[in-house]
Amino acid sequence: MTAQRLVVIGGDAAGMSAASRARRLRKPGELEITAFERGRYSSYSACGIPYWAGGEVDGPGALIARTPEEHRERGIDLRTRTEVTELDVDGGRVLARDLETGTERWHGYDHLVIATGARPVRPSLPGIDARGVHGVQTLDDGQALIDGLERAPGRRAVIVGAGYIGVEMAEALVRRGYAVTVVERAAQPMSTLDPDMGALVRDAMCGMGIEVVTGAAVIEVRTGAGGEVTAVVTDAAEYPADVVVLGLGVRPETALARAAGLPVGESGGLLTDLAMRVRGHGNIWAGGDCVEVLDLVSGRTRHIALGTHANKHGQVIGSNVGGGYATFPGVVGTAVSKVCDLEIGRTGLLEEQATAAGLRFVSATTESTSRAGYYPGARPMTVKMLAERRTGRLLGVQIVGGEGAAKRVDVAAVALTARMTVEQLTALDLGYAPPFSPVWDPVLMAARRAAAAVAADAGG
Amino acid sequence: MTAQRLVVIGGDAAGMSAASRARRLRKPGELEITAFERGRYSSYSACGIPYWAGGEVDGPGALIARTPEEHRERGIDLRTRTEVTELDVDGGRVLARDLETGTERWHGYDHLVIATGARPVRPSLPGIDARGVHGVQTLDDGQALIDGLERAPGRRAVIVGAGYIGVEMAEALVRRGYAVTVVERAAQPMSTLDPDMGALVRDAMCGMGIEVVTGAAVIEVRTGAGGEVTAVVTDAAEYPADVVVLGLGVRPETALARAAGLPVGESGGLLTDLAMRVRGHGNIWAGGDCVEVLDLVSGRTRHIALGTHANKHGQVIGSNVGGGYATFPGVVGTAVSKVCDLEIGRTGLLEEQATAAGLRFVSATTESTSRAGYYPGARPMTVKMLAERRTGRLLGVQIVGGEGAAKRVDVAAVALTARMTVEQLTALDLGYAPPFSPVWDPVLMAARRAAAAVAADAGG
């Protein structure tokens, strides 16, 4: 028997998890595994870059879960600095270019895994390529940022975009002693929250001394005589800057796949079946930041770039390619973050998303504390909960508050998966002891309020 | 229309929650509410006593959610220092004795709520009533303990029993500078955990300088010339003590109800229907530490004394008495605790409980961290998961570890309620960011291991 050939495009979480899982299930004589990675690193935590930038984490080494050498020792032929430039689906082969030597070669595959990730949004504005303007998508980006901060320490930083990366980078630069301004086009920071919850984040950030400018579109990056950034200009004002960080989100990196005719959704992310096989293609798999995933609450596919999903996709793909069986049933939209000592969690649908999905809902917001009110360290938290009208089904939860706030959304994530009603939530047997929770956990308190809102709505 | 008469026996969480909820739903002209409480306090957090004893919380005021006066202002005729000594079910009346004056009077009811709580186990040993031997069930107990500690500060404390109260009191006395010995009859501390997980707690406690003596039965409390405690004697050794705290658990306080012929379960706790009505009695309700609750995992009723359940029972009873509708569907056995910086969480069934319920299971234990391994403050945690053979249904989770460990059982509590399989758990969309979790949350990692064990077991 000749060995089957597995080719993986992309050496980060999804691709290398798939390769590693398949390798554990199939010996080299049964399955040859070749992986191509454009960069120099493999299996790293891009989510860790803000903490590296903030000096809390040593990088880049600590952020690398497994080096290319370690993968090779485990029987995976991982080729870094090698970019796949063409995909020939009919021929079952990819064209790979060695970025050091420039040589190109076709590689045939029996199974292909596309794990090309995402690329950061980088608007084409005057001055956007000035020295001192940084993205934070790859370890090389992170290294460039840190080198820049250390080579020419400045005083003023402007962050463009107030999403997860934006607020995390705001914290990092505050830690480095910068005066930080965050510029966001929307009315509130954190567009992954409803505006009323985003306003809480804004207030807290202002309390930390971070300047938050919202409703402002960046139109230009101003540069000095040496080509270095000097200011960020919006349609309303100008903000001096020694360093600029772009946190405008990411888009699926699927140019290669789209050129080969593979199916993509509205976001440009690849569409797969539940086993993570590209729709309509029996031997092409895709996972990680380059795919759309099924949102179990709205019933639609969405693009969500998150390392934890990428790892799960990789496990599923590797199991299936390795002769096992696994599926990725979908997500409920859980995300957690923090900016200094403010925690932010969300799962399920925002009001706007629920409306777009054709759902009608009631919402309830409650104030509570992370521990019994009398216990030292109890921190305030605000919980907002959405429930479907008539059925009372839980649709989403957003939490903003002190330590202990963010991960509380996990309870709601499980409840969303199980399609529970908010009335059912009120009876959940959640852990209680004074150091951990008030006698009514904040999530249960919100559920009681939401259940009352459902009942009042049904009565009206 | 004459007002209906609601009588409540017991002025703590369950009783006063029921009274308060009913009062919100029904005006005084529709429902007269009279509550009898043996002690001086109402609506207090007994769970907070160890933290008061440890000096972390000011007591007793901070532990009182609502004083008798506040209840009276809200239209509840709460009579403290008044004990109900007889229940006449056929006559629909209770005999209440004023403990100050000794006068007794019958009070008729249309609805009766029994919320008599639990009493601590106090073995009849020589010397058990010595000065310096304390229980920690009521605020008066707490005050007596603290007065004793402050009046005659000592050096050596012995805690009898290594359950929740025992380990929490061990921490409190360590904080007060005592050399602490915990004496436990079982082979490991925390019999609410499997012995292998209890051993982790033991190791951690020893690392904190707490002496943990297991497999030892106390046979005597030795006293000095002045009637004060001097030592605790077990079947094997003698431990000098200036103060002794009893943490041997509690039993339902149902003598009154049993004398009236109301139905109780194996533990002596009252049996109710899902609306918290005493079985077979249309107008008698019971909740809190004096009832048995349905364990949704084992299908049996159990006695679990926990303030959060008592509050839920009170809400349900008050809604129903007040003309609304609510049920308490049951528990899954969630509990969280800590001793110094070690957190302990559990939900569902232990191995022994699963076997007793007729279930066969596989188990898996994993080591992980509370945050991304590279993120500052990441703490180790051990997760043990039980899954039913063949079906793979989650049966229980136990977690022992650093900060962030205990409340992670909440995810499993929801999954148990939804009767999820461990395979379904592996795909849960739990919050991920480096300050909050490794890329595979510890619960997901345990689920993967458990799912593999289920599969291996089915194959074998």
Nearest to B345 by CA among A246, A257, A68, A433: A433
pLDDT in tens, A19-47: 999 999 999 999 999 999 999 999 999 99
Chain A residues within an 8 Å CB radius of B424: 329, 417
∠ CA A201-A372-B15, rounded to 5°: 130
CB pair distance less than 8 Å for B47 and A432: yes
**Domain spanning A122-248: CATH superfamily:** FAD/NAD(P)-binding domain (3.50.50.60)
pLDDT in tens, B298-315: 999 999 999 999 999 999
SS3 A294: strand
Per the listing, tokens 């430039």 go with A85
* Cβ atoms of A216 and A84 closer than 8 Å: no
Which tokens go with B357?
């319920």
- B341-459: CATH number: 3.30.390.30
pLDDT in tens, A68-107: 999 999 999 999 999 999 999 999 999 999 999 999 999 9
CB pair distance less than 8 Å for B307 and A420: no
Nearest to A106 by CA among A36, A17, A16, A31: A36
CB pair distance less than 8 Å for B432 and A333: no
Is A460's pLDDT higher than 60? no
B97 vs B84: CA distance, rounded Å = 6
Same fold for the domain at B122-248 and the one at B341-459?
Answer: no
* Cβ atoms of A285 and A336 closer than 8 Å: no
Query: A with B: how many residue pairs have Cβ under 8 Å apart?
Result: 205
pLDDT of residue A57: 94
Q: Which of B312, B335, B431 sits opposite A410 (nearest CB)?
A: B431
Q: CA-CA distances (angstroms) from residue A189 to A144, A146, A170, B367?
A: 26, 25, 12, 37
B21 vs B316: CA distance, rounded Å = 9
Substitution target from A407, A421, A423 for chain B, most B beta carbons within 10 A: A407
Q: Which of A312, A335, A409 sits opposite B427 (nearest CB)?
A: A312
Length of chain A: 460
pLDDT of residue A193: 98
Q: Which residue of A has its CA nearest to B410?
A: A430
A66 vs A233: CA distance, rounded Å = 41
Domain residues of chain A, as ranges? 4-118+251-321, 122-248, 341-459
Task: Give residues 308 to 367 of B whose Cβ lies within 8 Å of A.
Answer: 308-309, 311-312, 315, 327-338, 345, 347
B55 vs B339: CA distance, rounded Å = 15
Per the listing, tokens 């049904």 go with A458
Substitution target from B414, B425, B449 for chain A, most A beta carbons within 10 A: B414
Q: What is the DSSP string of A115-178?
A: ---EEE-----TTTTSBTEE--SSHHHHHHHHHHHHHS--SEEEEE--SHHHHHHHHHHHHTT-
**Residue B290 designated active-site:** no
Per the listing, tokens 């977690």 go with B399
Is A459's pLDDT higher than 80? no
Over residues A137-142, the mean pLDDT reads: 93
**CATH architecture label of A4-118+251-321:** 3-Layer(bba) Sandwich (3.50)
pLDDT of residue A271: 98
Residue B389 main-chain phi, psi, to 5 deg: -65, 150
Q: What are the residue ranges in chain B where pLDDT is below 50?
A: none
Q: Which of B48, B331, B434 sits opposite A434 (nearest CB)?
A: B48
Q: What is the DSSP string of A63-89?
A: GBSS-HHHHHHTT-EEESSEEEEEEET
- B4-119+251-321: CATH number: 3.50.50.60
* Cβ atoms of B402 and B341 closer than 8 Å: yes
pLDDT in tens, A413-437: 999 999 999 999 999 999 999 999 9
